[in-house]
Amino acid sequence: MVTPLESSGLLEHFSIVFTLILVMVVVYAVMQWTKMFGESKGLHMLIGLILGFFVIMIPDITELISIMIPWFVLLFIFILLMIMAYKIFGASDDDVLSALKSSDKMIIYVIVIVGIIIVIASFSSVYGQKFLSGSGKTGDGTATGTGSTTTSDFSKNIGATFFHPKVIGLIFIFLVAAFTIALLATVPHT
């Protein structure tokens, strides 16, 4: 008997179809929203279909979309669960909207930053090793207390870079500076 976990591997063979449908629907929705070529739904769908076929002809873009979309779905589910948790504690729809439209826009900034991180991580997952292999740079790439950053494995190189003591120290200094500026910029309540 096939378990759900084993059948999910079967869906990988249909990822190209899902990518085609996703690109087609997104292009159609943008065309309908902007009215770029008038009100013609058929023309908008045809343009979406053509661009969808162009996208699936490039395997790197198909892989990029296949990596990126599950993370955006998880982000969307997390946002929905946070809104539900907020409403469980007695918040109304107006409270949720006012939190999203507040003057500091912190929630929107966090969502945008997480989205940018997802896009950058997806690009590095698809193109990182290719850029690393084509760089042609040589050297031992080692630093005190860390592994080499010139290996042929892109994930090891990223890990060795991010967990290098100098990078961790720089991040710590940036965090201290950010919190210092934030505390000094606030008006004391007296």
What is the residue extent of each domain of the chain? 14-57, 60-136, 139-190
Q: State how far the Cα of 34 lies from the Cα of 106, in Å rounded to an integer.
A: 28
For 53, the token pair is 């076929």
Output the six-digit token pair for 127. Answer: 């193109």
Top mean-pLDDT range of 54-63, 121-130, 160-169? 54-63
140 against 134, higher pLDDT: 134
**In the chain, what are the helix, strand and coil shares in percent, each to the nearest 5?**
75, 0, 25
From residue 95, give the alpha-carbon distance in Å to each of 18, 90, 102, 111, 133: 36, 9, 10, 18, 51
Q: Is the pTM of this model over 0.75?
A: no
Res. 109: pLDDT tops 60: yes
Q: Provide the mean pLDDT of the chain.
A: 81
Q: Cβ atoms within 10 A of the Cβ of 136, count?
A: 5
Give the per-residue pLDDT at 143: 45
Average pLDDT of span 98-110: 78
- Which residue, among 115, 176, 149, has the nearest Cα to 168 in the 3D structure? 176
